[in-house]
Amino acid sequence: MTEPLCTTALVVNEPGGDFVFTDVHLEAPRADEVLVRIVATGLCHTDLTVPTMLPAEMMPTVMGHEGTGVVEQVGADVAGIEVGDHVVISFRSCRACGPCEEGHVGYCEQALLLNYMGMRADGSTTMTAAEGDRAGQTVFGNFFGQSSFARHALAYADNCVVVDKSLDLTRLAPFACGFQTGAGTVLNLLDPAPGDSLVVFGAGGVGLAAVAAARGRGVETVVVVDPLAARRAIAEEYGATAIDPTVDGAPAVEEQVRSLTGGGASYAIDTTALPAVVLQAQRSLRNRGMLVALGLGAPEYTIDAIDLLSTGKTVRSSVEGESDPLVTIPELIALREAGKFDVDHLVTTYPFERIADAIADTKSGLVVKPVLVWGE
């Protein structure tokens, strides 16, 4: 049996705890696994939220689910991936259940086990602490089939997307989840025509990726609602109309949206997970319009039942923008190369050592999409 690899990971030791640099032993890849040397990993809201929700029994753990890197080892049963390949690592799916066979891999019946439980499907774990008083202690990982807040990660053929080696992996990391979710919702689910209208609530990485995809598709009327001036300015650079929801004395946000869209938006996307904002988004729609809620946070939303039942509106969610990463990520990269998905400027890179700064700058709105990068 091949000896485990000693590598460095950002470990969360207790629910809601800080990210702590820790040396860990990472098992060698099994027959269906791929060992990736991580180059960069996007910092996503989910990486900050999930550790506050996990029970102590699932700690310590390693987050990170927007990894990119270079393949160093490939298991015997893995096809289509070779040592030296550059990959974007996304979410996992079993590829065998009903939803997967229908092409809806984001709704895989094994999604919880494969992405969130901190272990392989057979219940085994991949890491142990390699230092100090915790040496030998189990470290939970396999988050989204990767746990890429580490110098090395184990991944799988179903969540590794091979990309051209000339591409900058630091710019592609958000394609694994955040950009894929926003853009995929527009392109795969809404599929708007140029004459349709879209309103996006929350101009973070997911929201602005949706804006970029809509504008790249040729949608003429795009409205963005966000309280931060810097975020609104970025939206306006895409050609969107931006609304500041905090202006005293201004008409209600939904009234402004209806005015800008000729009676209501064809589509709305919420990325905030704020119940009051979700309600605004619903009321901003035209008759038979669709609202897609993407934010993770509030356990419940309030829906205007009279509005819903009298207008034929649709309120739904979307997992990863209805994407199959093996299909959608290459498509988004091709759109990026063609100048129809302009998102590079949304990325700000930080050394992994500055993860605290990246978190603070994200929460303050100073940056849109932080990406953590390992040095030599």
Closest CA to 369 of 243, 120, 200, 182: 182
Element (H, E) at 292: strand 285-293
Residues 15, 56: contact at Cβ < 8 Å? Answer: yes
* pLDDT attached to residue 335: 98
The length of the chain in residues reads 376
In this prediction, the residues of the chain whose per-residue pLDDT falls under 70 are 1, 376
Alpha-carbon distance 64 to 141, whole Å?
Answer: 9
For the domain 182-319, what is the CATH code?
Answer: 3.40.50.720
**pTM of the entire structure?**
0.96
- H-type helices in 185-322, by residue range? 205-217, 229-237, 253-260, 275-283, 305-311
How is the chain split into domains, by residue range?
5-176+343-373, 182-319
**Joined tokens for residue 34:** 């791929």
At residue 376, the pLDDT reads 66
Predicted local distance difference test score (pLDDT) of residue 3: 81
Q: Given CA atoms 299, 305, 307, 311 in this order, what sign does their dihedral have?
A: positive
Question: Quick one: pLDDT at residue 184?
Answer: 98
CATH superfamily of domain region 5-176+343-373: Medium-chain alcohol dehydrogenases, catalytic domain (3.90.180.10)
Tokens of 47: 């990486």
pLDDT value at residue 54: 92
Which pLDDT score is estimated for 12?
97
Which is it for strands 138-139 and 197-201: parallel, antiparallel or unpaired? Answer: unpaired
Phi and psi of 38, rounded to 5°?
Answer: -75, 130
Q: Are 203 and 223 in contact (CB under 8 A)?
A: no
What's the DSSP call for residue 310? H
CA gap 118, 139 in Å, rounded: 9
